[in-house]
Chain A
Amino acid sequence: MTDAVLKVDKMSRYFRVGGFRSSGTLHATDEVSFEVAPSEIVALVGESGSGKSTIARVLAGLYPPTSGTITFEGEVQGRRTSRKVRGRMPMVFQDPFGSINPVLRVGHSLQRSLKLHRPELDRAARDVEAVALVERVGLLPGAEVLHRYPHELSGGQRQRLGFAQALASRPSLILADEPVSMLDVSIRIGLLNVMKGLRDQEHVSLLYITHDLASARYVADRMIVLYAGRIVEEGTTEEVIANPSHPYTRLLMATAPDPRLPLSHDTDVEDLGEPPKVINPGPGCRFAPRCPLAMDQCRTSTPAMVSLSPTKRVACYAVDTS
């Protein structure tokens, strides 16, 4: 069994909310544990409030975890993320219009990444590499694109640039925080194919954060479903899609808009609410208020993750784990 590139162990991140004198703590993520293997795309699926972006930002070193351990490439990470790790685990952001500095040329941040993380390259080598990187993600002609300003690129092109930039530092794992959510649906496929190409040809792993099950299915090898800061289900993509065990996963599957499904598939799923803001939570499953299978036990104690197969795990009392 090859060593995991990333191992997250019971990671939590809390935020203090409510102003000066309040004692409210927002549990953005709670005791999240998962692994990412080399050359693997793992999808973190969840709606807003699920904690998926928080996980990405903690991993990207934008803030430290409140508790838990992160082991990257075999080394346990401390509170400050080293430059080397930032290079090996870069992040691609969601907003194509906000994630690039509007007053600098497009090649600027790419060159910076190369300068910071590939010190062995001299000026000329960096220029060559920059062109190679943008062409790798489908932006041609590379030299010309590097010379443009961000407003001269379309949303899809900017997101490709984001991946080029992540590639500049020779990463082993790219954190992709909803990279296609703000793009037109017809453009998304291009980016999703770029991601697959990175896994297949560059052997880079990706942590793909999204709320869209269909795109997760298209690119990911494994899926992790999050709800209100906790992992509720985990397994290979086909396992989770074909056999969703957790009631929340089933809700997501049922409500995912898919035009190919016949009209009668529009099942009568009564939406009983929205994901909660988890402030000062007590014990109990967080999905219980919305769950059609909720029992008393669900409200009083938090279900632990239980293995249903060597690859599939779920945290739900209602699931038969025999």
Chain B
Amino acid sequence: MKRPHLLRSAASAGRFLRRDKKALIGSIILFVLLVIAAFPSWFTPDDPAAEVYNPGAGLSWAHPLGTTSFGQDVFSQVMAGTRQSVMIALVVGFLCTILSVAVGVTAAYAGGLIDDTLSLVTDVILVIPTFPLIIVIAAYTKSASFWTIVFVLVVTGWSYGARQLRVQALSLRNRDYLLAARARGESSWYIISVELIPPMTSLIVANFLGAALYAVLAAAGLQFVGLGNVNTESWGTMLYWAQNNEALSAGLPLWALAPGIMIAILGSALALLNYAFDEVSNPALRPVAGRRRRKAVA
């Protein structure tokens, strides 16, 4: 009786991925990017930081995407940058989700004053314009490390999910099976963790993907305006340097395009998976399979 739900989830996740094209494509892309992030050295023929090559070179076999103004290999840089972006997506996604679940579910379950307070905090943070807030916080903290960016993104990104999850928890809260759990004497902790949260799994996963997507785009944005550590390798910093050196007008469009396209690819993978999970939690969104064209025979 202990772990059936997880095993069942894994099995049904497998079936689900095979059935839904969106989920399948998204997973494949994500998987490829994860591999690149985990083993960048397999994909970087040249040292990404080494400024030894012919600067401003066009495409060639040695440099499939050309070189930067500093003489770095664009392809290697883009591959190396994968790790940071993927890490930010996953870490921020994970932390945001934890926070959203904690706040949203607690607010819904506790009700009353606790709910009012938590909802107020959630709504205030939700309403504050995110990007300016990010910039202000990032500029204020001055240090531009990976964890700073994570911190900034989590602080600004959890509230949307918290709201969504609160609403779903509220709708589940009055289901009889929760009352039944209370009636048989279960503790609140048990009820929340075993009876309330598991049926919310698909929404929680969808939230995670949404937060990860947000993180990718927001992190790239921050790094692009120079608020990240410009000396690390990431797609956002590539964009920063490319912009600063006027890559487009200098005839080195790939320097800017390559990281941009990678961001788009990771974003799309997350978005595809997100749509697919939305359909799991809301069957009304599922696509209608092909109809048979038999008409009633009079």
Contact = CB atoms under 8 A, between A and B. Distances in A.
Interface of A: 57, 60-62, 83, 86-87, 90-91, 93-95, 98-105, 107-109, 111-113, 116-117, 165, 169
A33 to B, nearest CB: 23
Nearest to B181: A109
B1 A60 contact: no
Contacts, number: 68
B177 A101 contact: yes
Given A101-B199, A105-B4, A117 B185 contact: yes
Contacts of A112: 181, 184, 186
Interface string B171-197: 000011101111111100000001100
Which of A104, A107, A108 gathers the greatest number of chain B CB atoms within 10 Å?
A104
B2 to A, nearest CB: 10
Contacts of A87: 184-185
B64 interface: no
15 contacts: A60-B183, A61-B182, A61-B183, A62-B182, A83-B185, A90-B184, A93-B176, A98-B177, A101-B195, A101-B198, A103-B201, A104-B198, A112-B181, A116-B184, A116-B186
Nearest to A105: B4
A61 B185 CA distance: 9
A207 B77 CA distance: 73
A90 B183 contact: yes
Contacts of A169: 184
A87 B184 CA distance: 6
Nearest to B198: A103
Given A98-B177, A101-B195, A113 B184 contact: yes
Nearest to B197: A103
Contact of B1 (A95, A99, A100, A105): A105
Contacts of B175: 98-99
Contact of B179 (A62, A109, A113): A62
A86 B180 CA distance: 11
B5 interface: yes
B14 to A, nearest CB: 17
Contacts of A165: 180, 184
Given A103-B198, A116-B184, A111 B1 contact: yes
A57 B176 CA distance: 12
Given A98-B177, A101-B177, 10 more contacts: A61-B182, A62-B179, A62-B182, A87-B185, A90-B183, A99-B175, A100-B180, A104-B5, A112-B181, A116-B186
Listed from nearest, the 8 A-B pairs whose CB atoms lie closest are: A99-B176, A86-B185, A83-B185, A98-B176, A93-B176, A60-B183, A101-B177, A91-B183
Interface in B180-227: 180-186, 194-195, 198-199, 201
B183 A107 contact: no
Contacts of B198: 101, 103-104
